[in-house]
Amino acid sequence: MIMPQNEVHYMMRYLADRLRKFERESRPVDPETAQALKSRWDAMPATSKVPGQLIGRKSAGCEATHGVFPKCNFSCKPCYHSADANKVRIDGPHTLREIDRQMGFLREKRGNGQFAQLIGGEVSLLEARDHGDAIALMRRHGRMPMSFTHGDFDYDYLRAVVTDDNDSPRFNWVSFACHMDTTMVGRTGIKKPQSEAELNEYRGRFCQMFDRLKDEYGIRSYLAHNMTVTRDNVDQIPDVIRQCHGQGWRMFSFQPAAYIGNENRWSEGYRELDSDSVWGQVEAGAGTALNYGAMQFGDTRCNRVTWGAYVGDAYTPMLDDSDPRDHKAVDDFMTAFPGNFAHRRPLETTVRVIRSLASHPAVIPSTVGQLRRFVQRSGGLGQDWRTLQPVTFVLHQFIDAADTAVAWQHMKDGTRATEPRIVEAQERLEACAYSMGHPDTDELVPACVQHGILDIEENRKLVQLLPLPTRRNG
């Protein structure tokens, strides 16, 4: 059979388009992500333009939703949401509409494959189907969503989020961040815990739900444990880590309390806790020094991060920031593999890895050397490596709302602060690693600004738009 000439022409064009698309998407970094990384790097303050900086080289930063479901059924002290948050009705269609707008905007501004928190409010107050739809929608926009929860829901809810009407999995992996600590009030079975130790059983139960999900549906999970730190629970951090690191958490993240959000929920003494004292307790729990200088995420006054792994009960950081060879390995890695591999088909990823290695072959010996040193520091090949459990330790310190307000105004006016405390806040906001998208104003807003300044007005409007049901309105 002879094909008409115009069909041959159409077919050739179709194949050429597909090949061009494949070529673009299998580059070491796709053009839209490369552009987003460059813009991010250009906007970083000099204080954070350092070797080992991930923002602008590997990532444009983490993201989060806002104004989608602000209500929560716990009463934590502190709470980063404004006083009006609990007067807003949880509404699935509103949530999905807003997520679509915000994630579309973030995709346009920040490229593909950024981590994005699905956060309110309490995410499990969403109907399970809406929660699952929100995860799917965020993925469609090239985000890697993480549902941020207090964890007070049961297995049936979790299963309903991740399965469809035929009880088949909607996702092959999910990511949840669970906030669990003694600053929280309202958990079923333990309304007002008196010690962190009392919560360990609940921490374990949360992880077990995801083990069961894996057994029954084959769905893998990434679980992060979040803990607000005050002077009342800071010295309990080591025990939480020691008792819970084997439960299945992939991340332990600690947030020293700050004066941000609902003023009615503030207490005395938040400023007594500095990053060093909290990090010291995290190190005591990990049983080793946690260096964070070889690879950093934004400003280290906001974020300290140590990537590493447990082998048995012993934790070893992946990188040693006193070893220049590890700094070189990080630089080679970020040069060879800019951006990330999220949401790509396996063939694209394979070709991309090959092209990345070919463009910067020095990454091969430096990565092999870095892995060899990690194995040596972990005790050598004789260890029981079947027990390997990667775990990341994080400290995220919000900025007090009063300082954020002044520093943000400087940023909007294009001026520089001079008072040391505000200079620091401005530098941190400029290097922010955790932003919200505002399509209406064409802005990317640091979470400190969102919770410290914008939430108040945003929630006031939402109270009008989504009032709580009353007897009269049903």
Please report, as ranges, the residues that interact with ligand SF4 according to CB under 6 A: 298, 302-303, 396-399, 428-429, 432-434, 446-448
Of 218, 182, 216, the closest CA to residue 199 belongs to 182
The residue whose Cβ lies closest to ligand SF4 is 302
For 37, counting Cβ atoms within 10 Å of its Cβ (0-12 exposed, 13-18 middle, 19+ buried), the class is: buried
Please report which residue ranges of 50-154 form alpha helices under DSSP H: 92-110, 128-140
Helix axes 363-377, 346-359, angle to 10 degrees: 100
**Dist CA 410 CA 417 (whole Å):** 7
Which residues touch 333 (CB under 8 Å, ≥6 apart)?
363, 366, 367
How many CA atoms lie less than 13 Å away from 445 in the CB half-sphere?
25
Min dist. Cβ of residue 301 to ligand SF4 (A): 8
CB of 297 to ligand SF4, least distance (A): 8
Pick 103 or 432: Cβ nearer ligand SF4:
432
Instruction: Give least dist CB 451 to ligand SF4, A.
Output: 8
Cβ neighbours of residue 139 closer than 8 Å, sequence gap 6 or more: 145, 343
CB closer to ligand SF4 out of 126 and 295: 295
Nearer to ligand SF4, 219 or 399 (CB): 399
**Of 114 and 397, which CB lies nearer to ligand SF4 in the complex structure?**
397
Q: What is the DSSP letter of 292?
A: -
Name which of 193 and 298 has its Cβ closer to ligand SF4.
Answer: 298
Spatial separation of the C-alpha atoms in residues 86 and 95, rounded to whole Å? 15
Distance of CA 388 to the CA centre of its chain: 23
Nearer Cβ to ligand SF4, position 241 or 447?
Answer: 447
Tell the smallest beta-carbon distance from residue 468 to ligand SF4 (Å): 29
Cβ distance to ligand SF4 smaller for residue 30 or 63: 63
CB 148 within 8 Å of CB 179: yes
Nearest to 311 by CA among 428, 389, 242: 389
CA atoms within 13 A on the CB side of 35: 8
Token reading at 324 = 């220049």
Closest contact distance (angstroms) between CB of 404 and ligand SF4 is 7
CA 420 to chain centre: 29
CB of 448 to ligand SF4, least distance (A): 3
Rounded least distance, CB 432 to ligand SF4, Å:
3
- In angstroms, give the least distance from the CB of 334 to ligand SF4: 19
Q: Which residue number, 46 or 381, has a Cβ lying nearer to ligand SF4? A: 46
